Structure 1
Amino acid sequence: MWIIGFLLVLGPLVTLHELGHYLVGRFFGVKADAFSVGFGKELAGFTDKRGTRWKLSALPLGGYVQFAGDMNPASQPSEEWLALPEEEKRKTFPSKPLWQKALIVAAGPFTNFAIAVVILAAFSLAYGKIEIPPVIAAVSENSAAAEAGLQAGDRIVSVDGRPLNSFDELSDVVLPNPGGKLTLGVKRNGRDLNFDFTIPTIVERDRFGNEFRIGRLGVASGPGEVVPVGPFEAVGLATVKTVDIMKMMVNGIGQIITGRRPVDELGGPLKIAKFSGEQLSLGWREFVSFAALVSINLAFINLLPIPALDGGHLAFYAAEAIRRKPVGQRSQEWAFRTGMALLLTLMLFVTINDVISLPIFSS
């Protein structure tokens, strides 16, 4: 189940990421020498009329697109490129204006964002949205909410000074911020009250034994109402949800750096495989929702300004736009070597984390 789930999630998402690069590059007239589904030895393939080799490779862990002239990690012109005839040179990646190269590079991550928006919008269209008024229906005994004096019937009107329109918005603030500070504005019998909290940390386990550290105040809402949505509203809701998930990822990394969350919450390929298999066992809806989350994660990681990632290329393009000239080739090569070393170190660290978290070790 782990292997099947992993291949069904990561393979298509990485391939579509590369397809985003390819389509925007083709739109700007850049020739692609190769487009591979998977890595390593070619198993089967064909060459189209544009000279692109489409191939299926041995390791089904994603894919890549190789643009003409893009022959080194820093995407800098090589001697071979400089020797090309002008007609061929115009079809290569290095010959394109800076803004076109930036759009080609950015197309991969934004394809992953688009995939997530499409999935989340489809769910909103199919199932509607749930509207839950921000009114407390019950308060758990001995909870932070009970100790602070919150009562059933209180209407929460603001969180840290920001207006609150639904109970879900409160959950989006509390759940991912265990140990954080929070001020709730409450309306009770016509009076305006404020309650300050340090959000308690709760460790929960799902049916698979996975531990999750979440924040919980100890308040419950009343029943919500399912409201149908149209296509435009569904896309808007999906876009907002995608942005919220991105913010949650940034917040989570910040909590790990500051020590509010343990580093063992960082995961790599093994943990993705584990979660993929678990979600696949729960049914297609849970699995597709998980795929949307992984797609956002891929986009977020690739946009980090680390050399060797898409975000690293975009950072160099931004520097070039500001300086009015490219960063030196030697400097870029050293930056990409450093970035690659950082990525390999991080991959080793999260893989060790993954192995240690396997049931055979945790038991």
Structure 2
Amino acid sequence: MESLGQIGHFGTGALGYLIPFLFVLTTVVFVHELGHFLVARWCGVRVKAFSIGFGPELFGFDDRHGTRWKLSAIPLGGYVRFFGDEDAASTPDRAALDALTEEERSTTFFGKSVWQRAAIVAAGPIANFILAIAIFAAIFTLYGREVTTARVDQVVAGSVAEKAGFRPGDLIRTIDGSRIETFNDLQRIVSTSADRPLTIVVERDGAPVTLEATPERREVTDRFGNIHRIGQLGLSRDTSGGNVTVERYSLPEAVVMGAEETWMVVDRTFAYIGGLFAGRESTDELGGPIRVAQVSGQVATLGFVALVNLAAILSVSIGLLNLFPVPMLDGGHLLFYLIEAIRGRPLSPRVQDVGFRIGLAAIIMLMLFTTFNDIWRLI
């Protein structure tokens, strides 16, 4: 199955991208695989190897339980290999399993109950979500967040907002039923809702007013020169003077907010996927390892807090991606175990092998497509 203070500027060369990229990806992958590892150990499964990266081993060591902890040459993922596995994808070595004694088989992953196997598989993505919540909570507690009330200071003439009936002084309360507390909350929802009608409740002169508006898709360029196609309404907020405050939160409050922030990433991801199927979003926005490396290097110039915030977002994305019901991914394994629990027996080896091959082909095609997008974007 498939880690203080200010870092500052990493430079603009290759190392300026590589070091932040390895920091972010290694952190997320390590926590993901650690989730699998800890629950497997708890269930009594022997773990043969814990690897960060694929391919040839660069260095490693054996712990007292016989697990080989290693760093491998290709830093694009990782794996935990259990006793009885044929490969890093946790494909069963059926010949070896058949030759084991009953006692030996009980220490293999495939010798455990379907519920234990499901728990081991699910532990990886769950660990990613926990990591994200912990990072967000730490940021909210130690550094706080900038807060600007969701009050409209200006409505751009001729904009979607003006046509929808927004006025200066309106206080945004909810969007599609979701509570809006800051102007940043408004921006995040609107930017990812291009061409999708929104129901927005504002407070005007002490009374609620319901407005309908569809954010207009526009191209904007960020500080690093990257072009993004996002939704805009045409509302602005004055961020000068005392309009922006920094609020810090107690640990319990921060944990709740961290969970909300994590859910926001999940919700926006599903909104984007839904937009792809509806034809509202473009596949040009999909990125692979090259894109992650580029963004990591750019974000690192903003400091350590920004970089670990990116790690939290990436952790949610990897956890969510692994839950998709695609064979080879954790979600595909969970789908097989659900079918096994319902049928009372596992799918035949042939059906599982075909499923894994289809899943592998799908993953390879996705990687090739996102890498092509990355290269095209750079060109």
Q: Output the TM-score relative to the length of structure 1.
A: 0.92
CA distance in structure 1 between the aligned counterparts of 2:22 and 2:254, rounded to whole angstroms: 29
The one-letter code sitting in structure 2 at the alignment partner of 1:314 is L
C-alpha spacing 1:327/1:34, structure 2 compared with 1 (3 Å): same
Aligned to 2:365: 345
Aligned to 1:51: 66
CA distance in structure 2 between the aligned counterparts of 1:157 and 1:235, rounded to whole angstroms: 23
- Please say which of residues 24-33 and 37-46 is displaced more in the overlay: 37-46
Aligned to 2:46: 31
Aligned to 1:286: 306
Aligned to 1:68: 83
Aligned ranges 1:1-363 → 2 under 5 Å? 1-71=16-86, 73=89, 75-76=91-92, 78-161=94-177, 164-221=180-237, 223-358=243-378, 361=379
- Please say which of residues 146-155 and 188-197 is displaced more in the overlay: 188-197
C-alpha contact (below 8 Å) 2:27/2:311 kept by paired residues: no
Residue aligned with 1:136, SS: coil
- The alignment's C-alpha RMSD in Å is 2.0
Cα deviation, 1:183-230, whole Å, max 9, x if unaligned, reads: 223343355433221211121111221111222212234625433311
The one-letter code sitting in structure 1 at the alignment partner of 2:348 is G
- How many residues matched? 359
The one-letter code sitting in structure 2 at the alignment partner of 1:119 is I
Cα deviation, 1:300-354, whole Å, max 9, x if unaligned, reads: 1111110000110011111111222111111111011011011111111111111
Q: CA deviation at 1:42?
A: 2.1
The one-letter code sitting in structure 2 at the alignment partner of 1:175 is S
CA distance in structure 2 between the aligned counterparts of 1:144 and 1:354, rounded to whole angstroms: 32
C-alpha spacing 1:16/1:190, structure 2 compared with 1 (3 Å): closer
C-alpha spacing 1:163/1:310, structure 2 compared with 1 (3 Å): closer
CA distance in structure 1 between the aligned counterparts of 2:354 and 2:23, rounded to whole angstroms: 36
Gaps of 5+ in 2: 1-15
The one-letter code sitting in structure 1 at the alignment partner of 2:22 is L
The one-letter code sitting in structure 1 at the alignment partner of 2:67 is T
The one-letter code sitting in structure 1 at the alignment partner of 2:20 is G
CA distance in structure 2 between the aligned counterparts of 1:344 and 1:163, rounded to whole angstroms: 40
CA distance in structure 2 between the aligned counterparts of 1:130 and 1:53, rounded to whole angstroms: 45
CA distance in structure 2 between the aligned counterparts of 1:41 and 1:318, rounded to whole angstroms: 35
Q: Output the TM-score relative to the length of structure 2.
A: 0.88
C-alpha contact (below 8 Å) 1:112/1:295 kept by paired residues: yes
C-alpha spacing 1:41/1:166, structure 2 compared with 1 (3 Å): closer
Q: CA deviation at 1:165?
A: 4.6
CA distance in structure 2 between the aligned counterparts of 1:144 and 1:114, rounded to whole angstroms: 39
Q: CA deviation at 1:289?
A: 1.1
The one-letter code sitting in structure 2 at the alignment partner of 1:301 is L
Residue aligned with 2:260, SS: helix
Residue aligned with 1:267, SS: coil
Q: CA deviation at 1:161?
A: 5.0
C-alpha spacing 1:218/1:115, structure 2 compared with 1 (3 Å): same
CA distance in structure 1 between the aligned counterparts of 2:302 and 2:67, rounded to whole angstroms: 40
The one-letter code sitting in structure 2 at the alignment partner of 1:159 is I
- Please say which of residues 155-164 and 276-285 is displaced more in the overlay: 155-164
C-alpha spacing 1:4/1:190, structure 2 compared with 1 (3 Å): closer
- Please say which of residues 167-176 and 342-351 is displaced more in the overlay: 167-176
